[in-house]
Amino acid sequence: MTTRRTFMKGLAGAGVALPIMRENAFGQIFKANTIAGDRPALAVAEDEQYWALIQRAFDCDRTMINLNNGGISPTPSHVLEQLIRDQRFVNELPVEHMWRVLEPRMESTRRDLAREFGCDIEEMAVVRNASEANEIMIFGIDLKRGDEVLTTNQNYGRMINSWQQRERREGIVLKQISFKVPPPSDEYIVEQFRKAITPRTKVIEVTHITNLSGQIMPVRDIVRMARPLGIEVFVDGAHAFNHFPFKRDDLEVDYYGTSLHKWTLAPIGTGFLYVRKEKIPKLWSLMGSGEGNVANIRKYEEIGTHPQANFNAVSAALAFSRGIGADRKIARLRYLRDRWANRLLAASDRVKVLTPLGPDKSGAICMFSVDGIDSVKLGGWLMANYRIVNTPIVHPEFQGIRITPNVYTSIDEIDIFSEAVLKAIQKGIA
């Protein structure tokens, strides 16, 4: 039987930085866990009584149906309250309160993130977002003119732009491989990388989950292929961390960057960069750092004055996610995905789902298209007529609409979306 005392003790024992938070901030989580009991995650995934309590932890605008949680997600209300409280505290006497009181507390955030990812605390840098983490990798590695970098043409555009800037400035060579959507197998994806490798290949950059279709990439297999060849593998995990369960050793990675304002539900402007300890000295920081910090993971955090309150609130967000549980979380996200995707597939053969719906190849992010309806126009129609926030995707090789619910998304919202798409199929959007 779960009691409030044992629940809070369990969170503290897991390494969550509870001293900076009020116990009643977890009220909804505690009530939800008494409902869930010891049932398996798949059984809880469709228990609306449980998830209604989770939904109450968020102050969301329910006049809109937000199905674009791939970019930024709202943070639970109690996490936002901590952020605001710390910002007010800083504002009382910034030079003392931020640097002498709040900044040292970031070591607790570093500890919590390192434990969640499964790495040494001295391998975890707290940064502002995945783009910053990835650009530290991209601009931090030494490359010579003619050295080649492999990525895919489905990588995040900002990362492609960053590599292309190095192309123009330094004469390196960026090669973008293509793969089918959805791909036939993990082995097929690995083979597309393998075929593009040459003796000049120095780096492979791969997304853990593509931001377009939500495909989970076979990161460990790519690392195992590249490492014996002396090729560094940079992993853009912007959409993966705290989306579904994994640890560093499951991937065998040396470098990993992510945002925390997506699936960790932390405040906007938070992320982390993991670099394996022996790799730190050879990866330059994005901004200047002293010679004494060459082997220190904190050199990647040297950005000047920054909003420390954002970073400190990450521990509160981690505690909330841990209170739900990683297995319950991904089970719910896949349940919501399958509810709309399978309904649309069953209703019309004009619907194409471009994301694999298997148990381990994708999560909440899923893309679909409708034959005969322009995806951009359909996305605009859904927004204008039903206030459904969605993400039309136009890629040179495919197009569709990306749909991304989160733990606060209700079944009613999913069903309204499905019914709207079916209406568009039956009656058109003209």
Note whether residue 124 is domain-resident.
yes
Using a 10 angstrom Cβ sphere, with 0-12 exposed, 13-18 middle and 19 or more buried, the burial of residue 291 is exposed
Q: What string of pLDDT tens digits covers the 430 residues of the chain?
A: 444 444 444 444 444 444 333 444 456 676 777 877 788 899 899 999 999 999 999 999 999 999 999 989 999 999 999 999 999 999 999 999 999 999 999 999 999 999 999 999 999 999 999 999 999 999 999 999 999 999 999 999 999 999 999 999 999 999 999 999 999 999 999 999 999 999 999 999 999 999 999 999 999 999 999 999 999 999 999 999 999 999 999 999 999 999 999 999 999 999 999 999 999 999 999 999 999 999 999 999 999 998 899 999 999 999 999 999 999 999 999 999 999 999 999 999 999 999 999 888 999 999 999 999 999 999 999 999 999 999 999 999 999 999 999 999 999 999 999 999 999 999 999 8
* Cα-based distances in Å from 323 to 11, 145, 158, 176: 7, 49, 33, 40
Give the CATH number, domain containing residue 170. Answer: 3.40.640.10
pLDDT of residue 32: 75
Note whether residue 387 is domain-resident.
no
Q: Largest alpha-carbon pair distance within the chain?
A: 67
Q: How many structural domains is the chain composed of?
A: 1
Query: Would the CA dihedral through 86, 87, 88, 93 be positive or negative?
Result: positive
Note whether residue 173 is domain-resident.
yes
* Cα-based distances in Å from 150 to 181, 186, 295: 19, 17, 27
**What are the backbone angles phi and psi of residue 190, rounded to the nearest 5°?**
-60, -40
> Which tokens sit at 8?
């809070």
Rounded Cα gap, residues 190 and 188, in angstroms: 6
Query: Would the CA dihedral through 341, 344, 345, 350 be positive or negative?
Result: negative
Rounded Cα gap, residues 124 and 42, in angstroms: 32
Note whether residue 30 is domain-resident.
no
What Rg value do the Cα atoms of the chain yield, rounded? Answer: 22
Note whether residue 137 is domain-resident.
yes
Place of tokens 């034959």: 371
**According to the 3-state scheme, what is the secondary structure of the chain?**
CCCHHHHHHHHHHCCCCHHHCCHHHHHHHHHHHHHHCCCCHHHHCCCHHHHHHHHCCCCCCCCCEECECCCCCCCCHHHHHHHHHHHHHHHHCHHHHHHHHHHHHHHHHHHHHHHHHCCCHHHEEEECCHHHHHHHHHHHCCCCCCCEEEEECCCCHHHHHHHHHHHHHHCCEEEEECCCCCCCCHHHHHHHHHHHCCCCEEEEEEECECCCCCCECCHHHHHHHHHHHCCEEEEECCCCCCCCCCCHHHHCCCEEEEECCCCCCCCCCCEEEEECHHHHHHCCCCCCCCHHHCCCHHHHHCCCCCCHHHHHCHHHHHHHHHHHCHHHHHHHHHHHHHHHHHHHHHHCCCEEECCCCCCCCCCCCEEEEECCECHHHHHHHHHHHHCEECEEEEECCEEEEEEECCCCCCHHHHHHHHHHHHHHHHHCCC
Rounded Cα gap, residues 288 and 140, in angstroms: 11
Note whether residue 140 is domain-resident.
yes
Give the domain extent around 211: 97-318
pLDDT of residue 30: 67
CA dihedral 158, 137, 311, 307 (to 10 degrees): -70
Note whether residue 179 is domain-resident.
yes
Note whether residue 32 is domain-resident.
no
pTM (whole model) above 0.75: yes
pLDDT of residue 421: 98
Cβ contacts of residue 101 below 8 Å, gap of 6+? 89
Residues forming beta bridges with residue 274, ordered by sequence position: 124, 256
Place of tokens 């997600």: 73
